[in-house]
Amino acid sequence: MTEYKKVSESATVLTELMIPSYSNFGGKIHGGVILSLMDKVAYVCAAKHADTYCVTAAIERVDFLAPVEIGDLVSLMASVNYTGKSSVVVGIRVTSENIKTRRVKHTNTSYFTMVAKNEEGKPTPVPGLLLESREDARRFLEAITRREIKSESEQYFLQQKDRSPVETALTILANERCKIGFM
C-alpha cells in the first residue's frame, strides 16, 4: 500500500441535473436527494484514497443554506480532509447553478467520515495524507478540532444524563413551546 497519497489523487467532482422527479411538494429539490448525492461522492473520494471498499460511519451536521430548484445543475466537490488509521474524513462543498442565468449558489458543506473495509468486512488501514499546501493542513487541523468537539459534546450529554434526570430538569421546559402531559 502507498504510505501517503495527495489530496488531488482522490478529489472528485460529481455534477447532476435536478430533474422534476427529485422535487418535493413545494417544487424544490428534496434534501434527501442532495444527501444521497453527497454520500455517493464521499464514497468515490474515500474509495479512491483507500483503494478499497468504504462505508459511511458518520455525517457531520448538514445545513441547507439555500433551496435547490428543478433545472439547476448541482455540483459536489469532494476531497479527503483527514486520514486516521482506517477512516478518512471527506469534505464536500455543494453548489447549484441556474443554467440560464449562470448564477451559482453555495447550498451546503458537510463532512463525511468513511471507513475502509477489507475482504472480511473489517476496518483496514488507509494511506496517510500528503499535505501539499497550507489549505490542506488547515482542513486536516479543522477535522481534528471537529472530532474533539464531537467527543466533548458526547461526554457532556453522557454526564448530563447521570446528573439531571428529566424530573429535575423540567423547569427548563417552562419557557419552551411544549406542555407537560405526564406525571
Ligand X SMILES: CC(C)(COP(=O)(O)OP(=O)(O)OC[C@H]1O[C@@H](n2cnc3c(N)ncnc32)[C@H](O)[C@@H]1OP(=O)(O)O)[C@@H](O)C(=O)NCCC(=O)NCCS
Residue 128 contacts ligand X per CB under 6 A: no
Does the footprint of ligand X cover residue 52 (CB under 6 A)? no
**Nearest residue (CB) to ligand X, 16 versus 60:** 60
Shortest distance in whole angstroms from residue 39 CB to ligand X: 8
- Helix H or strand E segment including 35: helix 31-50
The dihedral of CA 57, 41, 22, 96: what is its sign?
Answer: positive
Closest to ligand X by CB, 68 vs 116, is 116
Min dist CB 113 to ligand X, Å, is: 4
Q: Which of residues 134-173 bind ligand X (CB under 6 A)?
A: none
The answer to the question of residue 57 lying near ligand X (CB under 6 A) is yes
Q: Is 115 in the site for ligand X (CB under 6 A)?
A: yes
Which residue in 174, 148, 172 sits closest to 160, CA to CA?
172
In angstroms and rounded to an integer, the radius of gyration of the C-alpha atoms of the chain is 20
DSSP β-bridge partners for residue 116: 54
Which 82-111 residues touch ligand X, going by CB under 6 A?
84-87
- Among the candidate windows 19-27, 29-37, 52-60, 162-170, which touches ligand X by CB under 6 A? 52-60
The one-character DSSP state at 165 is -
**Beta pairing partners, 23:** 29
As a dihedral over the C-alpha atoms of residue 97, residue 103, residue 107, residue 110, rounded to 10 degrees, the angle is 70
Residue 113 found at the interface with ligand X (CB under 6 A): yes
Q: How far is the CB of 97 from ligand X (least distance, A)?
A: 29
Q: Determine the Cα–Cα distance for residues 57 and 112; give it in Å rounded to an integer.
A: 8
Q: How far is the CB of 142 from ligand X (least distance, A)?
A: 15
> Residue 158: exposed, middle, or buried by beta-carbon count in 10 A (0-12, 13-18, 19+)?
exposed
Among 1, 55, 170, 173, binds ligand X (CB under 6 A): 55
Where does this chain bind ligand X (CB under 6 A)? 55-58, 84-87, 113, 115, 123
